[in-house]
Amino acid sequence: MTRKINNRIEDSFFDFRPKGLLFDVDKTLTNTQRVLSQRTISSLNMLRDTEIKFGVHTGRSYAMLKNYILTFFPDQSMHVTSGGGEVVTREGIVVWSRNIVSSAVRLIIDETEKLGSEYCFSQGDTFYGSRGIVTKYSNHPWKIRTNMQIDEANLAAVPLISIVDLNTQSKNFFKYLDGVTVKKMLGENNQPYLDITQGDVTKLIGSIAWAGLNGFGVEEVAAFGDAENDLEILGGVGLGIAMGNAIEEVKKVAKIVIKHTDEDGLAQFIEKLIKF
């Protein structure tokens, strides 16, 4: 049964001593303005002085995280990115991946353009995609490196492709696409988009790999999240923790519900974990 934290965090919650912590990024690690609060930054700095391994689990790619989010993590840290399709170091070294094959990448991009929607994906530290979405992210406050010049080298296998500006035709096409997992997501202003990964990929799959690379089991991991793509990981790790701003389905699968991200719920939990 899920236990909810209101004004304080009960000591009994800390009977579970995690060896690893994994944080969703948007509206979990960041506030609703997509910024890390000073208290959250301070709590991450406190974690550096412990033996706990910590990183992110996110639908975002390494290229989107490199110049802002990951600067608050240790040099040797590893992170579950691209919806669980990749584990990558802060320096950008891919240590584990489950990619969409290159032929499927080409098919998805070609069909997206024909159907009038837009796509984006990343290779290394660069974010690629259709003109509209690349233009948007070229001015992003996270200082994302972007490029809209797609060539054969860019069309190699990738862990995740996102489809935005959905219409009826594109929704129907990607609903029946074989060999991949298609997840419906909500972006800024609750605009729907699709995250496409290789067939068996979830954040939980990536977190299992992450835990093993760090030398322990996924049952020794606590993970935090708020959205639909966090359901598998929160239900599969040792301790699933939902933000106060999480959707109801996430709160139901989590063992603990903490405060809203705009109330520094994550930072408060980390502070208590370290001091307990």
- Residue ending a domain, among 198, 217, 246, is 198
Number of domains in the chain: 2
Same domain, 122 and 162: yes
Q: Quick one: tokens of 247?
A: 């959707």
DSSP state letters, 149-186: ---TTTTS-BSEEEEES--HHHHHHHHT-TTEEEEEEE
The pTM is what? 0.93
Over its length of 276 residues, how does the chain's per-residue pLDDT go in tens digits? Answer: 455 554 445 555 667 889 999 999 999 999 999 999 999 999 999 999 999 999 999 999 999 999 999 999 999 999 999 999 999 999 999 999 999 999 999 999 999 999 999 999 999 999 999 999 999 999 999 999 999 887 766 677 899 999 999 999 998 899 888 889 998 887 777 788 999 999 989 999 999 999 999 999 999 999 999 999 999 999 999 999 999 999 999 999 999 999 999 999 999 999 999 987
Same domain, 216 and 192: no
Same domain, 156 and 29: no
Helix orientation angle between 265-275 and 38-47, rounded to the nearest 10 degrees: 30
Same domain, 8 and 63: yes
Residue numbers of the domain that contains 12: 3-97+202-275
Same domain, 88 and 30: yes
Residue 131: CATH number of its domain:
3.30.1240.10
SS3 sequence of 83-116: HHCEEEECCCCEEEECCECHHHHHHHHHHHHHCC
